[in-house]
Amino acid sequence: MSQNPPDLRPDLANAQVPELRSNQPKIGMVSLGCPKALVDSERILTRLRAEGYAISPDYAGAEAVIVNTCGFLDSAKAESLDAIGEALTENGRVIVTGCLGAEEDYIRGTHPSVLAVTGPHQYEQVLDAVHTAVPPAPDPFIDLLPAAGVKLTPRHYSYLKISEGCNHKCKFCIIPDMRGRLTSRPQKAVMREAEKLVEAGVKELLVISQDTSAYGTDWKDRETKAPITALARDLGGLGAWVRLHYVYPYPHVREMIPLMADPSNGILPYLDIPFQHAHPDTLRRMARPAAASRTLDEIAAWRSDCPDITLRSTFIVGYPGETDAEFQHLLDWMDEAQLDRVGCFQYENVDGARSNSLPDHVPAEIKQDRWERFMEKAQAISEAKLAAKVGQRMSVLVDELDAEAATCRTMADAPEIDGNLFIDEGFEQLSVGDLVEVVVDEAGEYDLWGHLAN
Ligand code: SF4
């Protein structure tokens, strides 16, 4: 094993699990991909920790390294292969899991010496592979699992995965092939996990899945049409902020909006809804759920029930067959929709996706041009929306502290993807995880600056 420079993975030092005894077997974890993959990594580490393994903060100290891969886009696959290569060079004993693990031949074609390859959510197989590579040495007297499991995210916020898989068949997406059909976790199990997290000091729960609004619709004996509403209500009662990601604009989403309008319910007035496009023909070619729904009407209804709601979304430009007129329709739609937070990707072929074989792929320079025009518009909307917040008083959660400022988030900002509110004076008494009141002094394109309210 080589000497490990301090910036090399596995560097998920937020796990911060102390080594408890000298003979404890040690595993390293490299976690790539989306927040959902991060939750998987946390679960694997939680189990290993429960079995008496220590989590190594570097390659050199690990007896084997798990690489949790992402296989969504070709660029993510390349990144995963690079990460596996790095782990092999730096450590030599590598177990691969996660989305790209579904393609064992592809991985072994480049890296034949990996110890094992397991697919997404194959927790038992990952653990088996770890047991084979590095036998456990349990000690029931000291191997106590931390109450909230092992967390890779900072202690004051946590992702909460409520289901796996997806029943849709969007043409650009291979997640249903990799992750299977929708399987919702029982509400009691989700609540137990959420309660433990809140007891352990988590101030914000980020609810994730492939399709959050479909939660529970796979249960044959469900009592209501939309079990997500009941789950959101119960989570909101725990006293932490509850933020909903990956919600689709199904009609039953309207039921949740009045809950968001009343702060005492604990559900943040925030919806992360991946619209992907606005033109009905493009959406149909994408085979998007709710392709035909009148989303502007839905948005207007949500805003009427909850005027402070923050809407975040992601879009794809340059989808095969996207005409100038369809793209212009998207820009006009943005003018009307006035979304608060927006991400945008240029369409990219993904191995195995059905969209690859669609006619009329858009040339790279047109995709780039559309992306720039889209982002210019999104940025102007964001800037105007943030400028309107100057002078307002609001609650923020403190994420980070350094000598210069406290980096915080408002209810309108999800960690890692949205903006921040910075306090650069009088913040010395604050601690990470504090919930404080501020007044907004200044606004930029994506961030705010403010001072502590009296
Ligand atoms: S809804 Fe569509 S994009 Fe989202 S996971 Fe399912 S198939 Fe993929």
Give the tokens for residue 438: 């501020």
The residue contributing the CA closest to ligand 1 atom 5 is: 210
Q: Average the pLDDT over 81-94 and give the result.
A: 94
pLDDT of 249: 84
Atom of ligand 1 nearest to the CA of 179: 5
Residue 98 to residue 80: CA distance in whole angstroms: 10
Express each pLDDT in 235-268 by its tens digit: 999 999 999 999 988 888 998 999 999 989 999 9
Residue 5 pLDDT greater than 80, yes or no: no
173 C-alpha to center of ligand 1: Å? 6
174 C-alpha to center of ligand 1: Å? 8
pLDDT of 261: 95
Express each pLDDT in 158-185 by its tens digit: 889 898 888 999 999 888 887 789 999 9
Does 140 or 320 have the greater pLDDT score?
A: 320
Ligand 1 contact via 168 beta carbon (within 6 Å):
yes
| Percentage with pLDDT > 90 across the chain | 61
Q: Tell me the longest C-alpha to C-alpha distance in the chain.
A: 67
pLDDT of 451: 97
pLDDT band at 7 (very low <50, low <70, confident <90, very high): very low
Residue 224 pLDDT greater than 90, yes or no: no
Which residues neighbour 143 within 8 Å (Cβ) at sequence distance 6 or greater?
A: 20, 49, 50, 51, 52
How many residues can be counted in the chain?
Answer: 454
The residue contributing the CA closest to ligand 1 atom 1 is: 168
Express each pLDDT in 261-306 by its tens digit: 998 999 999 999 999 999 999 999 999 876 556 889 999 999 999 9
Atom of ligand 1 nearest to the CA of 211: 1
pLDDT of 196: 86
Residue 18 pLDDT greater than 60, yes or no: no
Ligand 1 contact via 255 beta carbon (within 6 Å):
no
Residue 369 to residue 328: CA distance in whole angstroms: 12
Give the tokens for residue 8: 């090399």
pLDDT of 416: 82
Ligand 1 contact via 175 beta carbon (within 6 Å):
yes
**What's the CATH superfamily of 13-133?**
Class I glutamine amidotransferase (GATase) domain (3.40.50.880)
Q: Average the pLDDT over 55-82 and give the result.
A: 88
The residue contributing the CA closest to ligand 1 atom 8 is: 173
Does 443 or 55 have the greater pLDDT score?
A: 443
Express each pLDDT in 347-363 by its tens digit: 988 888 899 999 999 99
Domain assignments of the chain as residue spans, ordered by start: 13-133, 157-387, 393-452
Atom of ligand 1 nearest to the CA of 167: 6
The residue contributing the CA closest to ligand 1 atom 4 is: 210
pLDDT band at 143 (very low <50, low <70, confident <90, very high): low
Predicted TM-score (pTM) of the model is 0.80
| Percentage with pLDDT > 70 across the chain | 91
287 C-alpha to center of ligand 1: Å? 10
Ligand 1 contact via 170 beta carbon (within 6 Å):
yes
pLDDT band at 149 (very low <50, low <70, confident <90, very high): low
The sign one gets for the Cα dihedral 81, 85, 90, 93 is positive
pLDDT of 420: 96
Residue 4 pLDDT greater than 50, yes or no: no
315 C-alpha to center of ligand 1: Å? 13
pLDDT of 13: 38
**What's the CATH superfamily of 157-387?**
tm_1862 like domain (3.80.30.20)
- Residue 219: helix, strand or coil by DSSP? coil
Does 99 or 358 have the greater pLDDT score?
A: 358
**What's the CATH superfamily of 393-452?**
Nucleic acid-binding proteins (2.40.50.140)
Query: In this structure, which amino acid lies at residue 232?
Result: A
Ligand 1 contact via 54 beta carbon (within 6 Å):
no
Contact by Cβ (8 Å): 158, 152? no
Residue 16 pLDDT greater than 50, yes or no: no
Q: Please give the mean pLDDT across all residues of the chain.
A: 88
